Amino acid sequence: MTTTHTDLDVLVLAGGLSHERDVSIRSGRRVADALRSAGMTAHVHDVDGDLLASLRQARPDVVWPILHGSTGEDGSVRDVLDLVGVPYVGTDAAGSRLSWSKPVAKTLLARAGASTPRFTTLPQTLFRELGTRGVLERVLDVLGLPLVVKPASGGSALGVTVVRDAAALPQAMVACFAYGEEALIEQYVDGVEVAVSVVDLGDGPRALPSVEIATDGAYDYDARYNPGRSEYFVPGRLDEAQERAAADLAVLAHRTLGLRHLSRTDMIVDGDGVAWLLDINVAPGMTETSLFPLAAEASPYGVEELYAAIVRRAAGR
């Protein structure tokens, strides 16, 4: 049975000035379409100088920020929404800040008992002070190869390099610093790439079916956004213990960082059944090739009903 929700007016925030503007706009449109299909009113708005005036004028019941990168995920836009006093979907500013910083999120989760690849975080300024050679040699000695170099904040594939050869490490650092001031270098873990989405509709966080990503090569920008390069398995081809470990990790991340309504945790599940935390997203991608919608579709709710339920929860109805 399909319920209609004509009573709710949702303003979907998408776009912004981040490197992931394009993905955000595509995500925003998909969510707005799904909400309209569920009977709600939904408009997509960019994050620009008109936003506050639009919020005052349109007085939406709920804002759904679907902004990837920088102000969208680091908590700042959510701070503004709190200042404006409008209910919004998703994690508050504090939780967003914790998730936005991979080193912080990994540290908190490790203390809470999660497994996460061993890592170090190195800002660009540090290399200016200490030089590069000695530091990178220590990194290689301690962490070994292969390594993954990625911007310390954000959750996209931008600026991410898998380093299998020591000679490629400096270039990976330069590529990473093109996107941010801090680089996270972590040990590469071999295993199955899995994303577990979590929703909390008022009865505590619950994991949706896992999504396994099998890619011919790196799960890079091209593989993420061009249909065909990646094959998705929903639920992932995991045994019962692995599926449980993956779900437990995602729920633990959601609870530990104090996340709200929805999140997505990316991980590697290794041959021993250990789920290794890579990244936590408070504004997961919602495009036609994104992982959260795949999980939602395989859940008992389906995409439209789940999105509508999330909005109702955010609106307190």
Partner 1 sequence: MTASPPAPQEPLTPGRGTRLDPWYASYAERTHGMKASEIRALFSVANRPEVVSLAGGMPYLAGLPMEIVAEVTDRLLRERGAVALQYGSGQGDVALREQITTVMAEEGITSHPDDVVVTTGSQQALDLVTRIFVDPGDVVVAEAPSYVGALGVFRAYQADVVHVEMDDDGLVPEALEATLTRLAAEGRRVKLLYTVPNFHNPGGTTLSLERRPQVVEIARRHGVLVLEDNPYGLLGFDDLTENPVMPALHSYNPQGVVYLGSFSKTFAPGYRVGWALAPHAVRERLVLASESAILCPSNMSQMSIATYLSTCDWRGQVKSYREVYRERRDATLHALAEHMPHATWTRPAGGFYTWVTLPEGLDAQAMLPRAVTELVAYVPGTAFYADGTGHRYMRLSYCYPTPERIHEGVRRLANVVNAELDLVRMFGTGGAGTRLAGTLNPGPNQA
Ramachandran bin of 228, using left for φ above 0, alpha for ψ from -120 to 50, beta for the remaining angles: left
Which residues touch 119 (CB under 8 Å, ≥6 apart)? 103, 106, 143, 184, 185, 186, 187
Q: How far is CA 209 from CA 244, 295, 296, in A?
A: 10, 6, 8
Rule CB under 8 A: say whether 173 interacts with partner 1. Answer: yes
Of 11, 13, 14, 23, the one binding partner 1 by CB under 8 A: 23
Rule CB under 8 A: say whether 114 interacts with partner 1. Answer: no
CB of 61 to partner 1, least distance (A): 28
H/E stretch holding 287 reads none
Nearest-CA neighbor of 127 among 188, 185, 54?
185
Rule CB under 8 A: say whether 172 interacts with partner 1. Answer: yes
CB of 230 to partner 1, least distance (A): 7
Bridging pattern class, strands 262-269 and 275-281: antiparallel
Task: Lay out the site mask for partner 1 across 288-317 (x = CB under 8 A, - = otherwise).
Answer: xx----x--xx-------------------
Report how far residue 90's alpha carbon sits from residue 93's, in angstroms, rounded to the nearest whole number.
Answer: 10
Closer residue to partner 1 in complex, CB, 34/277: 34
Rule CB under 8 A: say whether 204 interacts with partner 1. Answer: no
101, two tokens: 């910083």
What 3-state DSSP class applies to 21?
Answer: helix
Of 230, 242, 263, 281, the one binding partner 1 by CB under 8 A: 230
Rule CB under 8 A: say whether 171 interacts with partner 1. Answer: yes
Task: Lay out the site mask for partner 1 across 40-79 (x = CB under 8 A, - = otherwise).
Answer: --------x-------------------------------
CB of 21 to partner 1, least distance (A): 5
3-state DSSP of 151-195 = ECECCCCCCCEEECCHHHHHHHHHHHHCCCCEEEEEECCCCEEEE
Q: Which residues bind partner 1 (CB under 8 A)?
A: 17-23, 25, 48, 124, 127-128, 132, 158-159, 161, 168, 170-175, 177-179, 214, 220-222, 225-235, 237, 288-289, 294, 297-298
